[in-house]
Structure 1
Amino acid sequence: MDLPTSWNLDDKPTHLNVDSSGLRVNQDSNQFGAIRANHPIPPQCKLFYFEVDIIGEVKNERIVIGLCEKSYNLNNTNGLGCDDRSWGYFGYNGTVWYSSNSRTYGPSFSTGDTIGCCLNFKNNTVFFTKNGINLGIAIRNLKGTLYPCVGLHSKVEATIEVNFGSRKFKYEATTSNDMANLH
């Protein structure tokens, strides 16, 4: 069972640059582009969590954290969740998009924030975290072969770094409510 460990260097738009670690992405143009992990999340793991640190100068621009299927177009200018092959949490306004539908979900996020995404195959839900705080279930009835994914569209250089578990997460399930979301 291969778990996601880095970004897929062979499956991304040319204007997204990935460093030698395979974890840090820099967007150097004013075009939307998304990048997906090197492996899908295996349903056998039942629970998968990753975090994205927003490092570069980002102000009211589009950063979207979420999940996508292999067939999702990484050059889709609408962003994650604006079709039926992706799901995403938008930083500039805190909405969650899925199957071309949106709803108000959580706070906005930008430079200096860490956003986590947890896929729970036990109950087919997704929740997000912001700076270690659980924001509650965002998406229900999610199924399929899913990859961690991040979309970037900024007028200035934007940089993010993913943590697939190689270092300590900011989020720690410490309350009974947090634990309930994990089961």
Structure 2
Amino acid sequence: MSEDSSKSPFSLDGRTAVVTGAAGLLGRQHVEALHHAGASVIAVDADLDRLRAVVPPPDGGPASIVTAAADVTDRRSLEAIRRLLDEGGGRLDILVNNAAIDDKVESWRDNEGPVTFEAYSVDRWRRMLDVNVTGVFLTCQVLGDMMAKAGSGSVINIASTYGLVAPD
């Protein structure tokens, strides 16, 4: 948190945020921006080692950054994040649903290369829907309840224009 954050109209001092998919390209930027604005952030990703390697350390201000492993497709995994929030005061102000499978990135990471539509497996399709759609649903159910009970909060669902238009 910078010294000027309390003077900023964008100050998030005293707020708590959860960012899913925090080890990804956008996720780590969301974590950094929220923390810089003064929020304490729980950075969540299925790959805890990768998450710890890429998420910046706290900057010494009162806001913290905590890393936690969770699979957004698994309710029990998300309930563990809920317990972490409860232990930290039971407050959630901001939920950033950023976890997603980007097939172009994932296929290259797995050394599979691009896959044509005709060769795309049903298992890959189901896994992508499970993370990209069901994961948002479950995360909102498990964590959004905290904001509903408090009567305030913001849910930010990250999406791609490619959900609406073809990439080529």
Tell me the TM-score normalised to structure 1 length.
0.28
**Which of structures 1 and 2 has the bigger CA Rg?**
2
Structure with the largest fraction of helix: 2
Tell me the TM-score normalised to structure 2 length.
0.30
Structure with the largest fraction of strand: 1
Higher relative contact order (CA 8 A, sep 6+): 1
